[in-house]
Amino acid sequence: MKEHVKTALLTFLILLSFVQTGLLWYSSPSYEGNKQLYVTRPQIGSEKYNKKQMYELVAPHQIIWHHSGAKAWILPERNGYDNLIESLHAGKLENLHLITPTAEQWNQLYQQGTGVELRYFRDVPSEVISAFYLDDIDLSRLKWVSRIWVFIQNNQVITWIISDSEQKVMQAHTTIARFHNILGEIAHQQTEPVDPVYTTGKFPLDTATPASKFPHAFYLPKDSVQATESVYGLKKIQIDAMKSWLFNDPTLVRRFTTQNGSDVYTDTGRILQYNKEKQEMIYTSSAKATEPVSPSLELDRINRFVKKHSGWTGNYLLDRLTQNNDNTNHYHFRLIVDGLPVYWPTAIQSKNPELDPFGIELESTEEEVSMYQRSLLYLSSDPKEVNAVRLPNKDGVLAMLNREHIPPTNVRDLFLGYQTTKMGDGHVKLKPVWIVMPANGDPLILSTG
C-alpha cells in the first residue's frame, strides 16, 4: 500500500514540475522581444560614406598636380583623388628635419617640378597632419601646416611639410608605392589646367639674394570652367532615431520642453536638445577632459562614434579645428559635393555664425565624444535637377576680385565651391561660385553679377 502511495505522489510531483515549467516558459519575456529593443536601431546615412578611415577625414580639400611646369586641379571624388590620398597616407617618411629652401629650389618646384601639392584652406595644427600618416611622425617643431608638397627629385620622392605662417619647412625622404605610376595615371585623365597667381611678390625669385618669404600662390583655371547647378531633395533624420543611438537605455530618458519650444531629452548623464524650427540637434555628455588628448585619438574616437549610427550623411572633410576656453578641441566638418565644399551664405560671413545647416561639429574627451551638433536635414543621394553653367576663367576671376576691392596679396586661397539656397518645397539649390579665403578673416563668396 505504501509503495502505491509513494508511486502516486512521485507521479503527481513530476506532473506538477511539468506544469510549473510550462507556466514559467510562457510567462517569461521572449528573447526576440528583448532582441528587438537593442538591435533594431535605424541606420541613418548610406554605407558609402561610413567606410571612411580617420586619415580620409583630414585629407586636403584640394590637390594641385605639377608636371614640368603644367598644373591641374585634383579635387575630392575626382581624377584619382582617393587612390592618391591612400598612397600618400601609407608613405614612409624618413629623416624628417627642418630645412631652409633656397630661391633656386622654390623656382624649380613651381616651374619644373613633378609632384603634388596638398593644400589646406586654413592652417591645420601639425598634430592633425600627423594623424594623416599611417606611421607616427614627429612634427613637434611645427605648430601649423599650410600645405604639403610631395615631388620627385633625382628619381627620389621628397616631402616638404610647409608652414607659411611660421616660415618653416620640414623635409623627409619618402617611400610611396607606385608614386611615379600614380602621377602618370593622373596625366592621362581629364583634368582642369590651372595657372598660379602669386601673392607674395615677383616670381620667379631672384636667385642672387636669399628668399625673404616663401612664395605662395592660389590657382585659377586657364579657361572658363564648366560646372553644374543642382537641385537636391532634403531628407530628415528623425530625432527618435538619434535618441535611440545616443542614450544607452532610452527607457530611462526624460523629456521636457524649453521656453523657446525646443525638446530636451536627458538621462542625467547626457543631454540631447532638439530645435524643431531649425531642425538642429545638440548632444552633450557630462564627461569632462582631465588631460590633453592628441587629435589623432580624438579624431579616431569621433569617426567611430559617427560611423556607429551611419551619421556621415555625405562626404565630409575636416574644415577647421578651433579651441574652446578650456583648451579642448572643437572639430568642424564640411560637406563636399562632387568635389566642391558646400557653403551656406548666412553662416559664412559672420564673426559668430550659426550652425552651417550641412556642417557637423564635435568635441571629444579621452573617454568619449562630449559634444555633437548637426542639422537633422541632409541631401538626397542624387540631384533632382542638374543644369550646366560656365564660370569665368583666371582673368574673369581676377576682375571680380578687383570689383570687390580685394588685392590678390590679401588672398590666402581662391577656389570653387557651392553656395546653397533653401527652396520652399523641401529642396535646396547648389550653385557653383568662386570663394575667397582671405589671409585673415572668414571666407567670402564672390558675386558673379
pLDDT over 70 (residue 16): no
Question: Using one digit for the tens of pLDDT, what is the confidence trace for 93-137?
Answer: 999 999 999 999 999 999 999 999 999 999 999 999 999 999 999
Q: pLDDT at position 206, please?
A: 92
Give the closest residue to 76 by CA, choosing from 431, 359, 417. 417
Q: Give the Cα separation of 294 and 317 in Å (integer).
A: 18
pTM reported for the whole predicted model: 0.87
Q: Give the Cα separation of 200 and 378 in Å (integer).
A: 40
Ramachandran angles phi, psi of 154, nearest 5°: 50, 40
- pLDDT greater at residue 250 or residue 339: 339
Exposure class string for 252-275: b at 16+ Cβ within 10 A, else e: ebeeeeeeeebbebbbeebebbbb
Question: Using one digit for the tens of pLDDT, what is the confidence trace for 169-184?
Answer: 999 999 999 999 999 8
Q: Give the Cα separation of 244 and 260 in Å (integer).
A: 24
The stretch 46-75 carries a mean pLDDT of 92
Bridge partners for 419 per DSSP: 343, 431
Q: pLDDT at position 273, please?
A: 96
What are the residue boundaries of the structural domains of the chain, listed by start? 55-220, 232-379, 384-445
Question: Using one digit for the tens of pLDDT, what is the confidence trace for 374-418?
Answer: 999 999 989 999 999 999 999 999 999 999 999 999 999 999 999
Q: pLDDT at position 30, please?
A: 33
What would the grid cell of residue 11 be?
Answer: 507521479
What would the grid cell of residue 356 be?
Answer: 552651417
Give the closest residue to 183 by CA, choosing from 88, 60, 119. 88
Work out the pLDDT band at 346, boundaries 50, 70, 90: low
Bridge partners for 66 per DSSP: 71, 115
According to DSSP H, which parts of 338-441 are helical? Answer: 345-348, 394-403
Work out the pLDDT band at 294, boundaries 50, 70, 90: confident
Work out the pLDDT band at 318, boundaries 50, 70, 90: very high
The stretch 311-324 carries a mean pLDDT of 93
**Architecture field, domain 232-379:** 2-Layer Sandwich (3.30)
